[in-house]
Chain A
Amino acid sequence: MSNIKYILGSFGDPDEMMHGIEKLQENNIKIHDVYTPMPIHGIEAKLGIKRSRLDILAFFCGITGTVSAFALIYLTSVVDWRHNIGGKPAFALPDFIPIMFEVTILFCAFGLVGSYYASTHLFPGRAPRVMDLRATDDRFIIAVDAQENGDHSKIDGLLKEAGAIEVKHNERKYISYE
């Protein structure tokens, strides 16, 4: 085996890159991942990435917020420490709504973004795992694991045929660690 770890097909156009993915898949070559400077629609279906469940989570975070806000207001101003405000009832539900709404949004947003960062491993100071520095600029990169897929010249050929501007053989997985 050679030292090559990853074969990268670097495309200048998203449509050609999509074509490259199709070509590789037709030939039963497993794609490790694809790195793009912008979101490409339809790519997740091709690579078999499941639908995100973050929306469900966001809903439950929001509900938690509603319930927490209600509990806080109810337990403080109805149960624990009633204020007598002009003899009006302490349990004034309409007055509770603005805060319940705001806390719903707050919990929903923080729960959602927090779990997004956690599930995609984003946090301050994390070492960027970058295979090609131009993947955040103007190149669309298809990465193929060279150890799993033996026939390198065939992969090169397929990528070139689909329109890859260059094909790189990287001996390290992530160049950004240098």
Chain B
Amino acid sequence: MSGHNESILREPLITGNDITYAKITDDILMPVENKPNRAWWIGFIVSLMGATLWLVAVSYTFWNGIGSWGLNKTVGWAWDITGFVWWVGIGHAGTLISAVLLLFRQNWRNSINRSAEAMTIFAVICAATYVVSHMGRPWLAYWVLPLPNQFGSLWVNFNSPLVWDMFAISTYFSVSLLFWYTGLLPDIATIRDRATGVRRRIYSIFSFGWSGNVKTWQRFETVSLILAGISTPLVLSVHTIVSMDFATSVIPGWHTTIFPPYFVAGAIFSGFAMVLTLLLVARKVLGLENYITMFHIESMNKIIILTGSIVGVAYITEFFIAWYSGSEYEAYAFINRSTGPYWWAYWMMMTCNVISPQLLWFKKIRLSIPATWILSIVVNIGMWFERFVIIVTSLHRDYLPSSWAMFYPTWVDVSVFVGSIGVFFTLFLLFLRVLPSIAIAEVKLLLKTSSEQAKLAQIKEGHLDKAHVKEYVESLEKFDSVKQEEYAKI
């Protein structure tokens, strides 16, 4: 806060030349304080239809049992666990942005962490519903909890990764929720102090009486830092444990030690893709171009290249080891994956996850909003296929050729999956309407150091190295929210 300036070589995190603290509040609270526009209503109605489909399909499953899915004796896990792993993976980006990037002091996280964390919470809700509905007798779902024997089951088997998973997912969900909500308190207080009547009363209850005094802020920062510190190993542990659901089994194709890092990288990969899918639309519709800038988009694309390449290396390593291990069952599992009856799923996964993200090495593609948006969806299609390939192709050729089978989804399988996307978007669109989609207080912190106007003022003072200024001005060319003509004369 004192006089020192951030290096001119760093790209601005807030663009625009008339940004004040009041304008930040107004811009971010625009969707919360005004009636929704037509785009929101269309999105909401479509999502709500999806959510209704989900409700119907899940109720149908509860009523008739999982026989209503396309599972058979050989393929006992298919779309359910594919969907579960897919959703949990998507959730990972939120925690990565809010926790890991906070520890690394990446200030660009400040304008995307809120919506990414919300995404985490909604994705984990979608994932958890799969876990409950695939149990077959969901009314006995509490049997996964460590309850004394009198409750019906024995004590749970603590050696089972499925029990670890229950602990991991529930810890992940509740800690993410705490982290997200604690960060929301100052922003809910901002809405409260600007509202009147019933709205003020409601936001007052949810603001927990936040006043923004010195001690509360100081403790707030301590709490955020510690939560970030514990969430970082937590997020890595969650997908590690999810991968152990497979890796600790003895099924060829699952029984590999590469799974934990490979799953974690894949999770971050798909999560960032989902963040981009959501934010590229939200930034346009909500007019947040000054806060979620091209720099943010490019940075996320770089993380997608990195994690996508890790995933690619993991696929190739897995294939190599299947041959190198000399285990004919393992080798067969992989040959069958790529050339057997599910070859199309395997090559879909390879194309979407390994080849297409490499296009992001081109700066033009990385900085093109339509191209990035399409690629982000392609990545998530690929990541869905990855889980499908791992689960179904490893199971469908059982040890006995007489039990070989194929998996065909029923309308219920399809509806639970499509419906869960509807549930996710319904929750996300409601979130955009009632809570600030960008952390207002955290973005205000950047105004005096990392905004375009602060840097312009620095240039105008004229004490800077000419070469540095030139480099900075060149870096601004990619921003769609910067008025380039202002820099023409510098």
Contacts and interface: CB of A to CB of B under 8 A. Distances in A.
Interface of A: 12, 14-15, 18, 33-44, 47, 49, 52, 54-55, 58, 62, 72-73, 76-77, 80-81, 83, 85, 92, 95-96, 98-99, 101-103, 105-106, 108-110, 112-113, 116-117, 119-131, 133-138, 176
Contacts, number: 198
B182 A34 contact: no
Contact of B230 (A109, A125, A135): A109
B233 interface: yes
Nearest to A122: B208
B contact residues, range: 35 or more
A98 B208 contact: no
Contact of B178 (A40, A113, A120): A113
A130 B200 CA distance: 13
Contact of B217 (A40, A121, A138): A40
A103 B171 contact: yes
Contacts of A80: 155
Given A15-B1, A43-B214, A102-B237, A108 B207 contact: no
Interface string B228-240: 0011011001000
A118 B242 CA distance: 35
B91 to A, nearest CB: 16
B211 interface: yes
A49 to B, nearest CB: 5
Interface string B150-193: 00001101110101100110010011001100100110011011
A34 B213 contact: yes
B209 A49 contact: no
B21 A37 contact: yes
Given A35-B213, A37-B212, A122 B157 contact: no
Contacts of A52: 218-219, 222
Nearest to B21: A138
B211 A113 contact: no
Contact of B182 (A72, A73, A108, A116): A116
Interface centre among A49, A117, A120 (most CB of B within 10 A): A120
Contact of B223 (A72, A113, A128): A113
Contact of A112 (B209, B221, B223): B223
7 contacts: A36-B217, A49-B214, A49-B218, A77-B157, A110-B178, A116-B220, A121-B209
Nearest to A104: B230
Given A37-B212, A54-B222, A54-B223, A99 B164 contact: yes
Contact of B1 (A33, A41, A85, A119): A41
B178 to A, nearest CB: 5
Contacts of A135: 193, 211-212
Interface stretch (B371-379, B387-395, B438-446, B451-459): B438-446
B59 interface: no
Interface string B388-405: 000000000000000000
A176 to B, nearest CB: 8
A39 B220 contact: yes
A39 B193 contact: no
Nearest to A81: B155
